[in-house]
Each structure stands twice: as structure tokens, then as C-alpha cells.
Amino acid sequence: MYESAGRRLVVLRDIGFTIEPDEFVAIVGPSGSGKTTLLGLLAGLDRPSSGRVLLDGRDLSAMSEDERAAFRAANVGFVFQTFQLIPTLTALENVLVPLELKGNGRRADMDRARALLERVGLGERLDHYPAQLSGGEQQRVALARAFANEPAVLFADEPTGNLDAENGAAVADLLVELNRERRTTLVLVTHDPKLAARAGRVIRLEGGRIVSDTGGAGGAAPRATAEAAPAGRSAGGAVAPANRGAARGDGTPGDASVASGTRPSDAASGPEGGAA
Ligand code: ADP
Ligand code: MG
């Protein structure tokens, strides 16, 4: 729910799902359906007005702003439609930003940032500023930055949305490849049917509700519960841990949980048994 000038706008309702480690999930739906809002909640950029978001078993919705920032820095990568590089920093310096927060030492950070930029094909452009790079190149820097800390989960909001077809395809390829190489859980919003088709699972939002979910591993992934919310209920929704909220029927509408590849235990077990 967004609130401004006393007006309340409920953006998401009855959202409930679990994402398993290593999944590649595409979130699709018309403009204004709440995709960016949902991604921001899952990544801990925003906080739900009601409900919970669990990431790797940790309740993001219960954390303070500072706790969420620290948690994000350690666990989450984010790629934006508009690249969001820091204009006063070179490509190399942009990739160094998240690394420096970790304190592994200057030399190790430099080596890692350079290797990542080489991996995305920009080994010759280390000292270029964003304004000296094309959109496709800027987004490749942003990919290098997003993967710098080996995040457990990478979120991408229309990562190819501002690129022409050719550059968009190149960025999409890189994103999918890097995701596979590093076994990152990948959750991306896209309008590109070709990119969505590469995901193992597609969640469709319309008007702030999940209208379809092709399901997760084993076909027993929790369905989004689509009943009307209790009166007064607003966006977000309660979240159960990955291994409980999965059961159909008694799953609380409005649960969302993301598991990373690093903690397979909880998320991998639960749903199958009871839900079939
Ligand atoms: P999508 O990414 O699917 O296009 P968004 O999540 O950006 O959708 O937006 C969903 C709805 O929430 C829209 O009606 C939008 O106008 C509204 N909205 C998004 N951000 C804000 C905000 N910061 N304040 C108020 N309303 C917002
Ligand atoms: Mg959006």
C-alpha cells in the first residue's frame, strides 16, 4: 500500500508464493500491475504495509531500514531497467562499490571487479564513465556490479527494457549465463516474451494479484491464493516460512518467500508431501 497526501493505494493483494533455491522466475504482467512493487518488497528495498517477506528464512519485513540495507548488501543483487550506475564513477569504480562494503582488501576487490568486467565483455572499458558507454554497455556494467558480491538472489526489473533488440538479447544472454555459472536464484520482471520463456517458472500479475503461476520444482509449488482478502487487508500479506506456507488451502493469502541457493534445507523439503 502506498500512502501519500492521506490517500491510500493498495497495490498488491493476496500475494503468496515461495521461490526455491536456484529457481529462475519471470514475473510478467501489464504495466501498473505491481511488478516493480513486488520485486522491491522481495528484495527488501521496500517494506510491505502488511504481511511478511522471507528471504532465505530471514524476515525482511521485520528488519529496520539499516538491517535491510546490510542484509541486501550481503545477499541480494539488483539490476534496474535504467542501469542506475553512478555517473561520476568509472565502470571499474561502479563495480567496486558493493565490493568495498565487504572489506576484502583493495587488491582482491580490484582483481574481482576487473575479472567481472572482462566476463561481460568490457575489459577494454574499465576507465570509461557511464556517459561514455552505450546503454547495452552500461547494463553490462550493472550486471557485473550486481554479481560482484555473489548474491544468493539476483533481482532484475526489466533489465532489457531500455535496450534495442540486439543489445537486449546480449544482456539477456549474459544474465542467464551468469546466473547459471554462479547458481544464483534469479527473479526478473520482463515484458520480453523470449526472455520470460527462458525462465523455469512464470508468475503473472494483473491488478496487483497473481493470476497465474506455472509453479515451481516438483509441481507442488504453492499456488498463489486467489480468494478475496479479509476486509481491511491490504498489500503484501503474511508470509509463512518456505516449508510451511506451501500447503494449499491453509496457506495464508499474501505470503511470499524466496530461498537462495545457499540454504537448500528448508525450502526444498516441505511442500511436496501434503500438498498433492
Ligand atoms: P509495474 O511495475 O507492474 O508497472 P508498479 O509496481 O510500478 O507496476 O506500480 C503498481 C501501482 O502502484 C501503479 O498503480 C503505480 O502507479 C503505483 N505506485 C508505484 N509506486 C508508487 C509510489 N511510490 N507511490 C504511489 N503509488 C505508486
Ligand atoms: Mg515496473
End-to-end CA distance of the chain: 33
| 5 close to ligand 1 (CB < 6 Angstrom) | no
* pLDDT, position 260: 60
* pLDDT, position 258: 74
- 88 in a domain, yes or no? yes
Shortest-distance Cα residue to atom 22 of ligand 1:
2
Atom of ligand 1 nearest to the CA of 189: 2
- 2 in a domain, yes or no? no
* pLDDT, position 78: 95
- 80 in a domain, yes or no? yes
What domain count does the chain have?
1
| 31 close to ligand 1 (CB < 6 Angstrom) | yes
- 6 in a domain, yes or no? no
- 3 in a domain, yes or no? no
| 32 close to ligand 1 (CB < 6 Angstrom) | yes
Give, for ligand 1, the residue of 1, 3, 9, 27 to mutate: max count of ligand atoms closer than 8 Å to Cβ: 9
Which residue range is the domain that position 195 belongs to? Answer: 11-275
* pLDDT, position 8: 76
Please identify every stretch of the chain with a pLDDT value under 50, giving residue numbers as ranges: 217-253, 261-276
| 64 close to ligand 1 (CB < 6 Angstrom) | no
- 43 in a domain, yes or no? yes
Atom of ligand 1 nearest to the CA of 158: 2
- 1 in a domain, yes or no? no
Q: Which CATH number goes with the domain that contains 213?
A: 3.40.50.300
Atom of ligand 1 nearest to the CA of 33: 3
